[in-house]
Structure 1
Amino acid sequence: MTALTLSTSSATTLRADAVVVGVAKGAKGPVVALGAEAIDKAFDGKLAAVLETLGASGGEGEVTKLPSASGIKAPVVLAVGLGDAPAKGEDFDAETLRRAAGSAARALTGTKKAAFALPLADIESAAAVAEGALLGAYAFTAYRGGDGKAAKGEAGKNAPLAEVALLGGKPRDKAYKAAIERAEALAAEVNRARDLVNIPSNDLTPKSFAAQAQAAAKEFGLSIEVLDEKALAKGGYGGLIGVGQGSENPPRLVKIAYRHSKASKTLALVGKGITYDSGGISLKPAGHNETMKCDMSGAAAVFAAVVAAARLGLKVNVTGWLALAENMPSGSATRPGDVLRMYSGKTVEVLNTDAEGRLVLADALTRASEEKPDAIVDVATLTGAMVLALGNRTFGIMANDDAFRASLHEISQEVGEQSWPMPMPVELRKGMDSPIADIANMGERAGGGLVAGLFLQEFVGEGITWAHLDIAGPAFHEGAPYGYTHKGGTGSAVRTLVRLAERTAAGDLG
């Protein structure tokens, strides 16, 4: 994990390899943002003109490097675009600062120490810069050189930018320090989730995933229970067994829980953990298999969120359920047309073995419901239909409670994760009627993401508030990096889940 230090030094006098400043789009060209006054003075007040000469406009995410002027200790100045300059009396929003810091950190790969002199109007903006820099500095290098084994240490420990010095804040202010420490813990856990998603499936199996959870439980004082294939079969977890029975790597159900002595509310988080998804007998077509190591992103997000709650000492109980399996075709695999008896006792006709995520989640949702939590949120890379509906950067939210769905949407926007509330049309339920079982795992093709949500709702305990996050789009990024988002695993939904836990601890479950 990249080290973060707080400094009251001037941007010109701090010894670093580079100093980062912000530049915005003004009405007549680039405008140097607050925080960079000392740097601008070293350029005789002409930093904006120099940047414009170099082609900078101040556009969001734009990065421009230039040699320092006389009087600046750092040899390089990096100007990062913030987008349109805010109106008089207004400040840059947190997500703009978060992305700018991330872009700067990515551009400083190979740099030992960078000073960030971005505009810090308040505690929130300081935390956003810290969070963005730490997320932007992430790198997954476990399989480049060395012994080739998966990284076992702290998430993000191989980040190329070794140290970030945050300038312009109030390091002696308790509230300020707490916000920065939260940003550090949150970034570490997002990066933990990223690491898990990026580990290839030959090294991350249900068993090894469970082992990582056990190690974290020991480190952070969490309770943990792991059900192996024998316990799952004995307990009647037909969904997990049915999905995992075609693989040589058997399934697991992991319960990892954080408890606070003064908590009055309990959240249950359920994550889809398909460590590799071939589609099973309903094999995926060529071109759709290469990134299927990411099909455990929901379980990674849940795992990381539980650890984050522990690190932050939140006054809320948080239980994570990791439904782990590998979906493979073989002579022992579940076939289309088979009927599974789920943990709930309901029977499911499997019409498509590539609709497997909902099967493992169904068992975990029923098990989580038995503990009567105040709310359940499941997270899953569940449907390609959701990607078609919302694109690659936005996850869908469905719920059995409109207020809870609205609250989760608000929370995700607040923390910088794009989401959109989705309906649950009751007429789509009929398409999952089965002539021989209680329900089929497939329904109408149109609205497939909504059908999946309706299926999951069938396994939520009566009277329990529940929401479903379909993160199939944003969980794994295949395009060019942007802001603090890298290629590969993104850690999608971790920040939303943590903020939900914080709100719940404060008495606002939504």
Structure 2
Amino acid sequence: MEITVKSGGAAKQQTQCLVLFTDAKGELPAFSSVDQETGGLLSALVARGDLKQSAGQTLMVPTVTGIKAERVLLVATGEELKAAAAEKICAGVARALIGARVQEAVIAFDDLELEDRDSTWLLNILSREIVSAGYTFNEFKSKKADKDAAKLEAVTLLQAGRKALEENKVAAAQGVATANGMALARDLGNRPGNACTPKDLTEEAKKLAKGVAKLSVKALGEDEMTKLGMHSFMSVSKGSSEEGQLIIMDYKGGQKGDQPIVLLGKGITFDTGGISLKPGAAMDEMKFDMCGAASVFGTMKTIIELELPINVIGMVAAAENMPAGNASKPGDIVTSMSGQTIEILNTDAEGRLVLCDALTYAERFKPKAVVDIATLTGACIFALGHTISALLSNNDELADSLFSAGNVAGDKAWRLPLDDSYQKQLDSNFADIANIGGRPAGTITAGCFLSRFAKEFPWAHLDVAGTASKSGGDKGATGRPVPLLVQYVLDQVS
């Protein structure tokens, strides 16, 4: 989808759909100027209550006279124009435009002047929401959607003057690129396990690198990982006929010698639980266990599209967790790449087993920071639900940066404690560490486990078990936390 920013008068726009924002009294400038040209039609509709006055509510006026627009979409801003309301408003606009089945639209956004955010923030979010609202996944449908059906292809974001025009163009481009990254993350997450294996993810990385001089890709196979001593990773992968892969996407957009940011994604392309087999109900959703890896792919796509001047390494620890004659058993002990021994008390706590060796491998890049992203614990859903991701870190500055980025992007995370008192839950009678710490504080003890392999650099862990996908009628990958990660990277550039 093409999104452009330009200046001009709203009443003069020739478009299939003109989007205007209105308060309860219909006194916002762009709305009022167009209303005059229509002989007061729009204000009359608002006055009689046709438009519900809460943030994000919309009313399509299919026929208007006196202006060049074919139809007008009225959007209520509510009583308080702050970021939280603006997110609802942007989502409402996006849904209405997609539902209107128009091919192009003009949005006069001047009336959305927020109390706590500037226009660049608004256009970033608005552009992202519009592009994301048009996302569909029908890769495996035998009957595709009607190709001739009207589809939103172009949106013009209109401002009255030229103030901050160039900055607004950049912000809109960032929103589009973020949505494109989310779309890739959703595509990968939504693919079934038989069409998204570890080697398929390696091929996806190569596709990203095609024609991109700043991005190089390599993947370690099981033979190489075994030679490196990554026996924790291999304890998960060995039970599957699909070969595990440690994928490294090295983007060199910054200065030579600048320390890179490492984004590490858990890529369990299907998780049966291994010998600690999961219940059969909803096991199909375990294809979403690679959504952490998918978010790394999505973030790298956005970075490439924006050509950001920064060094970023996207790592993906990809494996399939299956029950087999040679699969790991509860009670097995393995030696990680770091040399620490691990007692595997539950083979369904496999994500941390692949991530810990990948964290050790990341030391060789001398990173500025490492952020791992994983659908790691069901406990995270009990703690934070499906709205906010969990954040744990060994570095306050990094944690604050990620927390702030999440708030700005509307993709929030909440920091949980990483206190030493939780570490004792991981004690083992037979090895250096157990891979689970019991039911209490399961998200925190998972973070504690990973922290033992991340002592050489600033590190943060995002548990996205509750936010990376949805169940039920809306079943599918969400593309989160791509917006948070992109905003974090953008903050490091600026």
- Give the TM-score, by structure 2 length: 0.89
Q: Greater CA deviation, 123-132 or 185-194?
A: 123-132
Residues 57-100 of structure 1: CA deviation (Å, up to 9, x unaligned): 232333332323213444332233433343xxx89875355434
User: CA separation in 1, counterparts of 2:83 and 2:379?
Assistant: 38
Cα distance change on mapping 1:461 and 1:206 into 2, 3 Å:
same
Consecutive unaligned residues of structure 1, counting only runs of 5 or more, are: 149-157, 482-486
Query: Does residue 249 in structure 1 map to residue 242 in structure 2?
Result: yes
User: CA separation in 2, counterparts of 1:107 and 1:371?
Assistant: 47
Match of 1:225 in 2: 218
Consecutive unaligned residues of structure 2, counting only runs of 5 or more, are: 114-118
The within-5 A match list for 1:388-399 is 388-399=382-393
User: CA separation in 2, counterparts of 1:245 and 1:372?
Assistant: 29
- From 340, 343, 350, give the equivalent of 1:349: 343
RMSD: 2.7
Residues 110-136 of structure 1: CA deviation (Å, up to 9, x unaligned): 432222223354333233322221222
Aligned partner of residue 455 in structure 1, secondary structure: helix
Letter of the aligned partner of 1:197 in structure 2?
G
User: CA separation in 2, counterparts of 1:61 and 1:327?
Assistant: 43
Letter of the aligned partner of 1:131 in structure 2?
R
Query: Does residue 205 in structure 1 map to residue 193 in structure 2?
Result: no
Q: Point out the structure with the larger helix share.
A: 2
Q: Report the alpha carbon displacement of residue 21 of structure 1 after superposing the two structures with TM.
A: 2.5
Match of 1:184 in 2: 176
Match of 2:153 in 1: 162
Match of 1:22 in 2: 21
Q: Greater CA deviation, 71-80 or 309-318?
A: 71-80
Query: Does residue 500 in structure 1 map to residue 488 in structure 2?
Result: yes
Counterpart contact for 1:396–1:419, Cα < 8 Å: yes
Match of 2:116 in 1: none
Cα distance change on mapping 1:331 and 1:76 into 2, 3 Å:
farther
User: CA separation in 1, counterparts of 2:379 and 2:150?
Assistant: 34
Match of 1:133 in 2: 130
Match of 1:488 in 2: 476
User: CA separation in 1, counterparts of 2:142 and 2:342?
Assistant: 46
Q: Report the alpha carbon displacement of residue 175 of structure 1 after superposing the two structures with TM.
A: 2.5
Match of 1:45 in 2: 40
User: CA separation in 2, counterparts of 1:195 and 1:188?
Assistant: 11
User: CA separation in 1, counterparts of 2:132 and 2:198?
Assistant: 27
Letter of the aligned partner of 1:421 in structure 2?
R
Query: Does residue 363 in structure 1 map to residue 363 in structure 2?
Result: no
Match of 1:113 in 2: 104
Match of 2:444 in 1: 450
User: CA separation in 1, counterparts of 2:423 and 2:198?
Assistant: 31
The within-5 A match list for 1:83-482 is 83-86=78-81, 95-108=87-100, 110-118=101-109, 119=111, 121=113, 122-145=119-142, 160-168=151-159, 170=162, 173-221=165-213, 222-262=215-255, 264-462=258-456, 464-478=457-471
Counterpart contact for 2:131–2:179, Cα < 8 Å: yes
Q: Report the alpha carbon displacement of residue 407 of structure 1 after superposing the two structures with TM.
A: 2.2
Q: Report the alpha carbon displacement of residue 23 of structure 1 after superposing the two structures with TM.
A: 3.8
Residues 311-367 of structure 1: CA deviation (Å, up to 9, x unaligned): 323332111110111112222222212222222222211111111111111111111
User: Taking every aligned residue pair, what percent have the same amino acid on both sides?
Assistant: 35
Cα distance change on mapping 1:80 and 1:352 into 2, 3 Å:
farther
Q: Report the alpha carbon displacement of residue 374 of structure 1 after superposing the two structures with TM.
A: 1.2
User: CA separation in 2, counterparts of 1:144 and 1:246?
Assistant: 31
Q: Report the alpha carbon displacement of residue 147 of structure 1 after superposing the two structures with TM.
A: 8.5
- From 49, 66, 85, give the equivalent of 1:71: 66
Q: Report the alpha carbon displacement of residue 12 of structure 1 after superposing the two structures with TM.
A: 4.3
Aligned partner of residue 246 in structure 2, secondary structure: strand
User: CA separation in 2, counterparts of 1:39 and 1:194?
Assistant: 39
User: CA separation in 1, counterparts of 2:163 and 2:270?
Assistant: 45
Q: Report the alpha carbon displacement of residue 285 of structure 1 after superposing the two structures with TM.
A: 1.5
Q: Greater CA deviation, 225-234 or 40-49?
A: 40-49
Counterpart contact for 1:398–1:422, Cα < 8 Å: yes
Match of 1:153 in 2: none
Match of 2:57 in 1: 62
| Number of aligned residue pairs | 482
Cα distance change on mapping 1:381 and 1:273 into 2, 3 Å:
same
Q: Greater CA deviation, 60-69 or 243-252?
A: 60-69
Residues 212-248 of structure 1: CA deviation (Å, up to 9, x unaligned): 1111012333011111222222322223221122222
Counterpart contact for 1:185–1:308, Cα < 8 Å: yes
Cα distance change on mapping 1:172 and 1:274 into 2, 3 Å:
same
Match of 1:151 in 2: none
User: CA separation in 2, counterparts of 1:488 and 1:38?
Assistant: 42
Letter of the aligned partner of 1:144 in structure 2?
K
Match of 1:484 in 2: none
User: CA separation in 2, counterparts of 1:144 and 1:33?
Assistant: 45
Q: Report the alpha carbon displacement of residue 171 of structure 1 after superposing the two structures with TM.
A: 10
Cα distance change on mapping 1:31 and 1:335 into 2, 3 Å:
farther
Letter of the aligned partner of 1:14 in structure 2?
Q
Q: Report the alpha carbon displacement of residue 195 of structure 1 after superposing the two structures with TM.
A: 1.5
Letter of the aligned partner of 2:209 in structure 1?
A
